[in-house]
């Protein structure tokens, strides 16, 4: 079978899982906000997986790409009447712009890709731990820009009243697309050589793999998906400010990526499911108080984060390769049917 | 910028760079020995800040605050090693990195829930605001103390690392841990000593930082330690001399650019500094002091 088709068929198992979740949402009716959040989380963590999972360089900078997409989509689709109040110094063509959602989303994805290209070429000259820290520096730069560029982003006050352009169906469509693209990329020549360089960068380079160029490709693809996910997020949450794209959400994203398993797209989806469950279920308790005998905690600020910390530490100590492990489920099934061991 | 301004900013940069150097040294030591990028290093700083806040809040004298803070951060660093990192000995760089990231958030959240998410005031002492005029320049007392203490610490550290068995073991472990163990040196002792030393350095940095910062919050440690990360990479990852050089370069760059920047660009100051430093790494990916390793 032609390999991209085989990969897409392989991804179908994960896609089927997502569709079942959505079908459960349609059947039970009511508010689909939480499931929409889940599909957005799937999209962004799959973006992270397509870079970090294949290249082996853990990225702390994806929230910069995600945030760029969110701000582009937010600024474009904000009601022009609100725009003239919130962002009076915006250039006229942006002031009057009010594109359809899918045009805004395409531009957000392009912005994510462009930022990735611009940052990836210099940053990915570095290797190993230096690259990790330089990517972290990208996150800091983005945070300063989101906060300080008040004429465009409204700074810490944030953009308020973004239109709810995202429905569960649209979020599902993008999650499915991201899963298929990431899986095909993983099995492509670039993905395969990149994974070889993850195991041993110097050996790969010595047999002619252009490690740096492949890393930049993965980073840009990842940026495009992250930008699109950012647009969906902006419309889902309705209000965006710089803290939505800084360290705390970065941590949540890393937890999703690690808990499920770094090497597989299926792992990313499983991680997104677990983290979304924690985010949506625990958040409600953050404002409540806790009485432990003589001690009373008045507010449980950061309880969600605490649960995520415990979750990731449990995985780090007990199963560092993540819940799903090293193989995609379809690969594991094929191996099982053929009667081979891993 | 006039020469006068330039010299004044260099004086400021020297003291800021000293703080970064103390932090980046601790980070570089752990990285070179066990491949750990310790995100939770900033939380040592924060813990030091909270110890200072608690004691100063109850009017304890500075003579007691200093040793108590140093003891607290050193013990906290050793506890981190014992509880979080020892079970992961020999794990990949990524596993250690993620664990330290999680540990940092754990400590922050515990402080948020246990104390408060809001900043707590640390009273300014009379001396921390005092300044002197030396010719046309102004030098704060805290700047003099910071620079002097850092230099003294660096000298003491060099003596320790060159003249004592434990110090030599640490330096050797930074080069090749396997060989050090073959020489009959206990790996556990070297790692614990490195953690204790990084905690002590963080404690000194906390004292110098929070004496003039005015407040401490659960996230106080994040910004300085991330700056120290940049300094470590700038100097050449895992290189102790490089860490100090990187810390000072970052301190000078920060202060000199702050004088050049004015108006709107001042808000983007931190971003500009970081972008320039990444640009520097483009020219020297191995860092200012590091050795070259080429990858296609």
Q: Is B121 exposed, middle or buried (0-12, 13-18, 19+ CB in 10 A)?
A: exposed
Structure tokens at A177: 């697309």
Do the Cβ atoms of A132 and B232 come closer than 8 Å? no
Do the Cβ atoms of B109 and B43 come closer than 8 Å? no
CA dist list (Å): B9 to A114, A260, B1, B212, B277 = 36, 49, 10, 18, 18
Q: What are phi and psi of B119, to 5 degrees?
A: -65, 145
Domains identified in chain B, total number: 1
pLDDT in tens, B36-51: 889 999 999 999 999 9
Q: How far is B132 from chain A (nearest CA, A)?
A: 34
In a domain, B253, yes or no: no
In a domain, B118, yes or no: yes
**Any idea of the CA torsion for A103, A104, A107, A112, to the nearest 10 degrees?**
-140
Give dist(CA B165, CA B160) in Å, integer: 9
Give dist(CA A79, CA A75) in Å, integer: 9
Q: How far is A1 from chain B (nearest CA, A)?
A: 33
Q: What per-residue confidence (pLDDT) applies to B126?
A: 64
Q: How far is B296 from chain A (nearest CA, A)?
A: 6
Give dist(CA B25, CA B198) in Å, integer: 7
CA dist list (Å): A133 to A45, A126, B20, B36, B106 = 20, 10, 16, 12, 21
In a structure prediction context, what are the per-residue pLDDT tens digits for chain A, which is 342 residues long? 788 888 888 888 899 999 999 999 898 877 789 999 999 999 999 999 999 999 999 999 999 999 999 999 999 999 888 888 888 888 888 887 888 999 999 999 999 999 999 999 989 988 888 889 889 999 999 999 999 888 888 988 889 989 999 999 999 999 999 999 999 999 999 999 999 999 988 899 999 889 999 999 999 999 999 999 999 999 999 999 999 999 999 999 999 999 998 889 999 999 999 999 998 888 878 777 777 766 777 677 788 889 999 999 999 888 888 888 888 888 888 888 887 665
In a domain, B264, yes or no: no
Q: How far is A133 from chain B (nearest CA, A)?
A: 7
Q: Token pair 């090749």 is at which residue?
A: B176
Do the Cβ atoms of B5 and B259 come closer than 8 Å? yes
Give dist(CA A211, CA B232) in Å, integer: 24
Give dist(CA A38, CA A44) in Å, integer: 10
**Any idea of the CA torsion for B81, B83, B84, B85, to the nearest 10 degrees?**
40
B112 and chain A in contact, CB less than 8 A: yes
CB-based contact B229 A136, cutoff 8 Å? yes
Name the region of A162 (left: φ>0; alpha: ψ -120 to 50; beta: rest): beta
Q: How far is A247 from chain B (nearest CA, A)?
A: 9
3-class state of residue B69 by DSSP: helix
In a domain, B262, yes or no: no
Q: Which residues contact A103 (CB under 8 A, 6 or more apart)?
A: A76
B39 and chain A in contact, CB less than 8 A: no
In a domain, B73, yes or no: yes
Q: What are phi and psi of B293, to 5 degrees?
A: -135, 120
Contact map slice: B 44-73 vs A, CB within 8 A:
none
Q: Which long-range contacts (CB under 8 A, 24 or more apart) does B172-179 make?
A: B173/B32, B173/B33, B174/B29, B174/B32, B174/B33, B174/B238, B174/B240, B175/B32, B177/B33, B177/B34
Contacts of A127 in chain B (CB under 8 A): 285, 293, 295
Contacts of A294 in chain B (CB under 8 A): none
Give dist(CA A199, CA A152) in Å, integer: 42
CA-wise closest residue to A133 among B190, B182, B27, B37: B37
CA-wise closest residue to A333 among A16, A20, A10: A10
CB-based contact A303 B37, cutoff 8 Å? no
ipTM above 0.85 for this complex: yes
Give dist(CA A202, CA A196) in Å, integer: 10
Among the partner residues A201, A299, A317, nearest to B295 by beta-carbon distance: A201
- The residue of chain B nearest to residue A146, with distances taken between CA atoms, is B268
Give dist(CA B245, CA B235) in Å, integer: 6
3-class state of residue B66 by DSSP: helix
Q: H-helix or E-strand containing A251?
A: helix A247-260
Q: How far is A141 from chain B (nearest CA, A)?
A: 5
Q: Which long-range contacts (CB under 8 A, 24 or more apart) does A321-324 make?
A: A321/A261, A321/A262, A321/A263, A322/A258, A322/A259, A322/A260, A322/A261, A322/A262, A322/A263, A322/A264, A322/A267, A322/A271, A323/A259, A323/A260, A323/A261, A323/A267, A323/A270, A323/A271, A324/A260, A324/A261, A324/A264, A324/A266, A324/A267, A324/A270
In a domain, B285, yes or no: no
CA dist list (Å): B11 to A111, A242, B133, B277, B293 = 41, 33, 12, 20, 35
Among the partner residues B84, B99, B101, nearest to A251 by beta-carbon distance: B101
Average pLDDT by stretches of 10, chain B with 296 residues: 82 89 92 88 95 90 92 96 88 88 93 87 72 81 89 92 90 84 88 95 93 87 89 84 91 86 78 85 79 50
In a domain, B185, yes or no: yes
DSSP secondary structure letters along B94-148: HHHHHHHHHHHHHHHHHHHHHT-SSPEE-PPPTGGG-EEEETTEEEEHHHHHHHH
- The residue of chain B nearest to residue A309, with distances taken between CA atoms, is B102
CB-based contact B108 A302, cutoff 8 Å? yes
**Domain containing residue B56:** 17-219
CB-based contact A133 B87, cutoff 8 Å? no
In a domain, B265, yes or no: no
B87 and chain A in contact, CB less than 8 A: yes
Among the partner residues A137, A210, A262, nearest to B274 by beta-carbon distance: A137
Contacts of A305 in chain B (CB under 8 A): 105, 108-109
Contact map slice: B 209-268 vs A, CB within 8 A:
222, 226, 229-230, 232-233, 237, 267-268
CB-based contact A127 B106, cutoff 8 Å? no
């Amino acid at each position: 079978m032609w390999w991209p088709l085989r990969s897409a068929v392989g991804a179908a198992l994960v896609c089927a899982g997502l569709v079942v979740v959505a079908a459960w949402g349609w059947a039970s009716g009511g508010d689909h906000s939480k499931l929409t959040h889940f599909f957005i989380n799937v999209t962004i963590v799959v973006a992270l997986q397509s870079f970090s999972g294949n290249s082996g360089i853990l990225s702390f900078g994806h929230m910069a790409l995600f945030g760029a997409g969110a701000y582009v989509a937010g600024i474009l689709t904000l009601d022009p009447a609100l725009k003239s109040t919130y962002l009076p110094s915006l250039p006229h063509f942006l002031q009057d712009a009010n594109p359809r959602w899918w045009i805004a989303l395409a531009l957000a994805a392009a912005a994510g890709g462009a930022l990735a290209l611009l940052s990836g070429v210099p940053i990915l000259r570095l290797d190993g731990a230096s690259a990790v820290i330089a990517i972290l520096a990208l996150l800091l730069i983005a945070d300063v820009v989101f906060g300080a560029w008040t004429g465009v982003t409204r700074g810490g006050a944030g953009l308020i009243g973004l239109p709810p352009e995202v429905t569960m169906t649209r979020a599902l469509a993008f999650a499915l697309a991201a899963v298929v693209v990431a899986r095909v990329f993983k099995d492509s020549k670039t993905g395969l050589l990149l994974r070889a360089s993850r195991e041993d960068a110097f050996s790969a380079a010595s047999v002619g793999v252009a490690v740096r160029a492949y890393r930049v490709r993965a980073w840009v693809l990842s940026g495009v998906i992250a930008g699109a996910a950012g647009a969906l997020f902006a419309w889902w949450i309705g209000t965006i400010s710089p803290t939505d794209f800084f360290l705390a959400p970065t941590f949540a994203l890393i937890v999703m990526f690690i808990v499920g398993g770094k090497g597989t797209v299926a792992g990313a989806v499983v991680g997104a499911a677990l983290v979304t469950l924690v985010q949506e279920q625990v958040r409600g308790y953050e404002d409540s108080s806790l009485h432990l005998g003589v001690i009373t905690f008045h507010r449980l600020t950061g309880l969600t984060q605490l649960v995520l910390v415990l979750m990731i530490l449990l995985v780090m100590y007990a199963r560092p390769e993540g819940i799903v492990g090293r193989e995609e489920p379809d690969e594991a099934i094929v191996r099982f049917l053929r009667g081979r061991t891993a | 910028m006039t020469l006068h301004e330039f010299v004044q900013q260099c004086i400021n940069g020297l003291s800021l760079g000293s703080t970064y150097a103390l932090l980046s040294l601790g980070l570089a030591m752990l990285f070179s020995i066990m491949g750990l990028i310790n995100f939770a290093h900033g939380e040592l700083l924060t813990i030091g800040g909270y110890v200072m806040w608690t004691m100063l809040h109850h009017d304890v004298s500075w003579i007691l605050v200093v040793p108590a803070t140093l003891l607290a951060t050193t013990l906290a660093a050793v506890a981190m090693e014992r509880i979080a990192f020892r079970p992961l000995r020999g794990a990949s760089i990524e596993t250690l990195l993620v664990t330290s990231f999680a540990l940092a958030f754990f400590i922050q959240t515990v402080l948020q829930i246990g104390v408060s998410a809001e900043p707590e005031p640390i009273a300014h002492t009379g001396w921390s605001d005092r300044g002197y005029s030396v010719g046309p320049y102004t030098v704060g007392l805290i700047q003099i103390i910071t620079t002097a203490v850092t230099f003294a610490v660096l000298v003491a550290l060099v003596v320790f690392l060159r003249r004592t068995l434990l110090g030599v073991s640490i330096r050797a472990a930074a080069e090749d841990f396997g060989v050090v163990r073959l020489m009959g040196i206990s790996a556990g002792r070297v790692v614990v000593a490195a953690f204790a030393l990084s905690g002590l350095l963080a404690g000194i940095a906390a004292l110098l930082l929070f004496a003039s910062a005015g407040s401490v919050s659960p996230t106080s440690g994040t910004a300085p330690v991330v700056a120290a990360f940049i300094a470590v990479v700038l100097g050449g990852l895992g290189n102790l001399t490089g860490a100090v050089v990187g810390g000072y370069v970052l301190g000078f760059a920060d202060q000199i650019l702050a004088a050049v920047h004015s108006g709107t660009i001042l808000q983007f100051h931190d971003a500009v500094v970081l972008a320039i430093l990444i640009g520097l790494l483009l020219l020297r990916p191995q860092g200012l002091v590091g050795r070259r390793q080429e990858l296609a």
